[in-house]
Structure 1
Amino acid sequence: MRRLAIFGLGYVGREVASLALEREFDVVGIDTDPAVVESAREGETVRDGSSDRFEATTDGGSAVEDADGIVVTVPTPLDSSYSVDLSAIEGVADVIATGLSPDPRGTLVVLESTIPPGTVADIVVPRLQAAGYEIGDDVFLAHVPERIDPGNDEWLLAEIPRVAGARTDRGLERAVSFYDRLLDADIHPVSSTEVAAASKIIENAYRDINIAFVNEVALTLDELQIDASEALDAADTKPFGFTRFSPGAGVGGHCIPIDPYFLIERAASNGHNSRFLKAAREVNDRMPAYIAERTVDTLVRGGTLPQEATVLLLGKAFKPNVSDTRNSPYFGIRTKLESYHTSIETYDPTLPDESTVDSPYQEVDAVVLVTDHDEFRTLDLRRMSDSGVDILIDGRNVFSPEKARSAGLTYVGVGRS
């Protein structure tokens, strides 16, 4: 395989394109947004994007005609009713079906986008077959779910093992061969694209469920006036049968708060109620409102009405040390506080253009830690207090309650007061 077409130049697509260029593929990136295409061409978002071996275009049909391999990394978001929106997958499948050469010579088509089990069979296969292509002969079709951890320098894309499923045995061989060349990590073949899709959802549902568990524990222990962090640290001394997760202001990103719904919806269409997965989502979705309500309650107890207060939210990104705000708990916290007519300021060192202040030290009534960026872990709590802050709401249980109180702050954490 020499020429690779990549649909979708979001975070995953850009990283795949960058790595493929490094591995000496000729790459054409396709995106519907002309601005995204232009920034990729200029090498701003794709490493080596200005090289002769990289093209970027909005014309997917022409891009796939001469491609030996096609990788699909388009978004699969949820709509307002928590149903997965697969319109981007449908659109790409249509483009591929009409754009492939009449004699495609066994082009490999790989979906990396996270999808419900059955998507390949229900959406992609019929479109290719309707265009006259034989799966496993003219076109090889596989699903290799993306695995990527933004901001994690210990696990780069090339080093993360991958799961591969395909529609045919030859398709699986082709997919494994391609990723063996692209990555340094092991490839784990599975029996079908459905198994591959399910594995991706399980990975993130596992994290969602365990985070929901410790969040529920934290809220419960808070009612009993037991420090949840201390109790979890104690439980973590068990050398087997326990994995430590941490409670917090909420989960964000494109994976954890989204992927479980892919399985929930698919199971519901077959008459099954995924109660455990739903319960975990409800607990974690509730956390931003919990943080906002604790903030309001603490303000009122201190004699400040929420409509007369100013609150500084520290962190807008969904995880530490990245600038990605997708589904960040920041938005839920802000919306809930604004429903009380509270004034909001924002500071995030990774998003200076979206910050309303240029420092975490402000004369405000309360500070809420939303994202535990490294910069925030070393905040000078005495300086914060001297700036005029009365209340610290620690949405990530980063700070010592004793140190916060000795600095003159009223401290509230998640499951620790």
Structure 2
Amino acid sequence: MSQLKRNLISKLKNRTAKLGVVGLGYVGLPLAVEKAKAGFQVIGFDVQDKKVQLVNEGKNYIGDIIDNELEDLVRKGQLKATTDFSFVSQVDAVAICVPTPLDLYKQPDISYVVNSARSIEKYIHRGMLIVLESTTYPGTTEEVLKPIFEETGLKCGKDFFLAFSPERVDPGNKQFKTKNTPKVVGGCTEECTEVAAMLYRSVLEGEVYVVSSPAVAEMEKILENAFRNINIALANEMAILCKKMNIDVFEVIDAAKTKPYGFMAFYPGPGLGGHCIPLDPYYLEWKAKEYDFHTRLIEVSGEINDRMPEFVVENAMKLLNKHKKAMNGSIVLLLGAAYKNDIDDMRESPILKVIEHLEENGANIQFNDPYIPQFSHKGKSYKSVDLDVGLDKADIVIIITNHSCYDYENIVKKSKILYDTRNATKEVKENREKIYKL
């Protein structure tokens, strides 16, 4: 065991290591909080002044964090935030938790990761651990980050430690949080892996599962999300076929999931949302082309899922026509703007594409979401309307997100036409003649 590794492991065990987190969003801030709760001094880094200010004031802006826990950690000096990356020189380990979006051509944009690495590079020091948590294509850690850090003359595995450990945040999940979700860790060398695994074992309650390389860990994360992408695409394709055959796809799925083995229920909807599932498979698709390989199943799944917002709008047009109304000029009330129920996260929410298709067809759009008071999309602002007022005015109501706080009995009662893309009205007994499902 090298002296540098021995020293860092000792610091992690006795909680004297100072830890850093770059990116204070849905992944980074909960991770920073858990590290501070485990007894470490933590510095959060972000380029957004507003986030840094809120953290330093103990004001929470992430749903999965308990407000008074953040406030208490900040008050005790366990957690602070800054835009000044020179403080990287003071930390023993730093995690990179920044966005990895797609560009206009659905190709990976790892500029946030690269910029973070460049900021760290200026202050990297011997014995330091760097862990990338941002979801990306296999090879990023070793092909992109490692060369950047080695430009300093330090050698990976000898002078500093580098690993990849994919984030597995599921906003709104009541059972699994950052603290108790199992962690996968793959380092550039055995020593890198050992140090990174020790870090997470010192912070988290979930199992830390070690793999042989960063590439394995990177591919593992892509597999997780490709699995969901493909199975949701199957559910969506079944929904389209069932619609043509006048069969309730939700009833079909409920029947299928009575089988105690060999089947896992996935449900159709108005489109995919969130940062991971709609985006991550495209990272693999892009990387696979380097090997002259086409990920056909993943590509087709993406096409099916991307088609769902348009499918929803086409069905809404047919429902209006059935009631002798045109989409052009009709008032359409969209219920739920978040990408999943009971959270305030709008990243890649299907409502955005639904709105685009509705406006192309002349609809007057209103929305209601108890978690999201307003949002902007392509230069236009949308404000959540009073639910009862919206229901009274709407020619058609479309359920985009099945928030559990909605009174669906009342929503159905007040709606002229109710198009339910989430089977949210399953338990409603009265006025079912108004309900049309995906």
Normalising by structure 1, what TM-score? 0.94
Decide which of 72, 79, 92 is 2:96's aligned counterpart. 72
Distance in 1, Cα, partners of 2:276 & 2:409? 33
Equivalent AA in structure 2 for residue 278 of structure 1: E
The root-mean-square deviation of aligned C-alpha atoms, in Å, is 1.6
Q: Residue 409 of structure 1: CA displacement?
A: 4.8
**Residues 1:15 and 1:113: Cα distance change in structure 2 (over 3 Å):** same
Asked if 2 retains the 8 angstrom alpha-carbon contact of 1:93 and 1:123, the reply is no
Specify whether residues 401 and 53 from structure 1 end up closer, same or farther in structure 2 by C-alpha distance, changes over 3 A only: closer
Query: Over residues 351-370 of structure 1, what are the superposed CA-to-partner deviations in whole Å (9 max), with x where a residue is unaligned?
Result: 13454312253321010000
State whether structure 2 residue 75 is matched by structure 1 residue 87.
no
**Gaps (5+ residues) in structure 1?**
none
Secondary structure of the equivalent of 2:317?
helix
Does the 8 Å CA contact 2:372/2:384 hold for their aligned counterparts? Answer: no
**Which residue number in structure 1 is paired with residue 74 of structure 2?**
49
1:397 equivalent in structure 2: 423
Q: Does the 8 Å contact 1:218/1:247 carry over to 2?
A: yes
Residue of structure 2 in register with 1:324 after alignment: 345
The equivalent of 2:232 in structure 1 is 211
Distance apart, 1:398 and its partner CA: 1.9
- Matched-pair contact (CA < 8 Å) for 1:136–1:170: yes
Quote the sequence identity (%): 36
TM superposition shift of 1:51: 3.2
SS in 2 for 1:308: coil
Give the paired residue count: 404
Report how far residue 121 of structure 1 moved: 1.4
Whether 1:352 and 2:380 are equivalent positions in the alignment is: no
Does the Cα contact within 8 Å between 1:311 and 1:368 map onto a contact in 2? yes
Asked if 1:128 corresponds to 2:149, the answer is yes
**Pairing 1:3–2:18 present:** yes
Residue of structure 1 equivalent to 2:199: 178
Cα deviation 1:81-124 (Å, max 9, x = unaligned):
001101111111111211123xx2x1111011111100011111
Instruction: Mark the CA change 1:164 to 1:402 in structure 2 (over 3 Å): closer, same or farther.
Output: closer
Checking the alignment, whether the CA contact within 8 Å between 2:412 and 2:434 is kept in structure 1 is: no
* Counterpart mapping for 1:379-398 below 5 A: 379-381=408-410, 384-385=412-413, 387=414, 389-398=415-424
Structure 1's 297 and 208: CA in aligned 2 closer, same or farther, altered over 3 A? same
SS in 1 for 2:163: strand
Asked whether the 8 Å contact 2:166–2:217 carries over to 1, the reply is yes
For structure 2, the residue ranges without an aligned partner over 5 or more in a row are 1-11, 376-382
> Quick one: distance in 2 between partners of 1:279 and 1:262?
15
TM-score by length of 2: 0.89
Counterpart for residue 374 of structure 1: 404
Residues 164-173 or 389-398, more deviating:
389-398
Q: How far apart are the structure 1 equivalents of 2:427 and 2:117?
A: 54
Q: Check if 1:117 corresponds to 2:138.
A: yes
Equivalents in 1 of 2:180, 2:432: separation in Å?
46
Q: String of CA shifts for 1:250-287, please: whole Å, max 9, x gaps.
A: 11000100110111100012211111001111111111
| Letter of the structure 1 residue corresponding to residue 269 of structure 2 | G
| Contact 1:73–1:111, Cα closer than 8 Å, also in 2 | yes
Equivalent residue letter for 2:395 = D
The answer on whether the counterparts of 1:66 and 1:100 sit within 8 Å (CA) in structure 2 is no
